Amino acid sequence: MRDVFIYDHVRTPRGRGKPDGGLHEATPVELVRQLLVALKQRNGLPDDSLDELVLGTVSAAGEQGATLSRIAPILAGFSDRAAGLHINRACASALEAVSILAAKIGCGMTEMAIAGGVESMSRIPMGADGGGPHGIDPRVSNHTPFVMQGVSADLLATLNGYSRADLDAYALASQQRAAQAWSEGRFDRAIVPIVDVLGTVLLAHDEHIRPDATLETLGALKPAFADIGKTMSFDGLALQRYPEVDRIEHIHTAASSSGIVDGAGLVLIGSAQAGAQYGMKPRARIRAFITLGSEPALMLDGPTPACQRALDVAGLVPSDIDLWELNEAFAAVPLRLMDTMNIPHDRMNVNGGAIAMGHPLGATGAMIAGTLVDEMERRDVGLGVVTLCAAGGMGIAMVLERAG
C-alpha cells in the first residue's frame, strides 16, 4: 500500500445549533463551499486537481442531502470531474470519510481528494432523516434494545464507577483547555470564518465555550437523562442487557455532554506524487485506520478496541503515542479510554473537546483529526491517535505520524 498523507485541513467555527446560533443563516452546502474555496486558494490547487470529495453527515435530509458532496466542489470552483460521496457512520462519519479516501489513495485508485463532514444541527435537527430501524422498528429493538445515548453514557459511568465529581472535573478541564487554546491562537490556522452573501462575517469563533465555568456552576446542574431514562423505559432496557447493575446512576449533565452545534470540517489528503505535482508539503502520514463494532445498547465503549486494533496494525503500543484526540461525546467516554489504555490526561484532548466546543455530528472526526495534526506540529511530537465512538455501538481510530 502506498503512503497516504494529510496535506492540509480547515474547519468552520462551531456555532450554537439553534436558530440564534452564529451559523444558522449559512446552509450546509455553503459551509462546505467556503471551506473548499479556502483549501483551493491557500494550496494553489488547479480547478481539475480534485478527484473526489467524501462527506460525512448523520442527518442527510433536505438541503443537507446526498447531492451535497457532488455539488459543493463545483460551487467552489473545482471542475466537473470531482466525484462526490455522502456517507453516514454516525458520529464517526467524517473520520470514516478520511479512511475511505486513504484506502483509495493507498491502493493507487485516487491521487488527491478531500474528506470531511458537515452538520447544520440548527437547520436539520437530529432525527430529520427518520431515525432508522433501531429506534423505530419494534422487531429490531426487541432483538437489540435501543437505548438513548445519554442513558448509555450514564450506564457506562455506572459500570465503571465514575462519580458525578469525576465527570464534572473532566468537563471543567475541557472548558479550560478550549479557552486557553483559543486565547493562544492554537486554532487560527484551521479556522475559516464564515461569511454571508455580502461578505460580512457570521462567525469566526467557537461560540459554545463557557470559559467562566466552575465546579460550583457545573455541580448545580441537574442530571440531563434521568427523566427520559425512566419515562421512556430506556433504564429498564439497559438493565435487562446489564443485569449486574442494580440501577443506573444518572450523573451526566448538559455540561458533561457534547454540545449541539453547526459546523463543517475538511481534510486534504493525497499520495506523495500528488503532493509533488502541486508543490505541497505533507504534514502527517496516515499509519493505520480501523472501524469496529461494539455492544449496541452500551454503544459508547468502541474507542478502546478500535484504538487497540489500530495500534496493533501500526506496530505500536499506547505508550508510544504522544497525543490523543477523542470525541467527547460524554465525559465518561474519555475517562473510559484513559483507564483502559492507560493514557495520562495531559496527553488526551489537550485543547479541549466537544464538551466545550460542541459536536457537529457528521463533521467532528475531520475537525479533531486536524486539531491533532496542528498540535503534533506545535509540540514537535511524532505520533497521535484520533478516535470516536459512534451510535449503534461502533468505534473508529486512526494513527497519524508527523511528516517532515
3-state helix, strand and coil shares in percent for the chain, rounded to the nearest 5: 40, 20, 40
Q: Which of 9, 91, 208, 307 is catalytic?
A: 91
- Rounded distance, CA 166 to CA 331, Å? 8
- Rounded distance, CA 141 to CA 72, Å? 37
Whether 389 is catalytic is yes
Q: What is the dihedral of CA 244, 248, 249, 250, to 10 degrees?
A: 160
What would the grid cell of residue 43 be? 494550496
**Measuring CA to CA, which residue among 202, 177, 49, 194 is closest to residue 112?**
49
Q: What angle separates helix 93-106 from helix 364-379, to the nearest 10 degrees?
A: 70
- Rounded distance, CA 96 to CA 117, Å? 10
- Rounded distance, CA 253 to CA 190, Å? 30
Whether 143 is catalytic is no
**Measuring CA to CA, which residue among 151, 148, 91, 159 is closest to residue 339?**
159
Report the largest interatomic distance among the alpha carbons of the chain, rounded to a whole angstrom: 62
Q: Which of 208, 250, 307, 389 is catalytic?
A: 389
What would the grid cell of residue 305 be? 478496541
Q: Which of 9, 86, 250, 359 is catalytic?
A: 359
Helices assigned H by DSSP within 5-48: 28-42
- Residue 104: other Cβ atoms inside 10 A: 18
* Dihedral class, residue 173 (left if φ above 0, else alpha if ψ from -120 to 50, else beta): alpha
| Partner residues linked to 348 by β-bridges | 324
Catalytic residues, by residue number, are 91, 359, 389
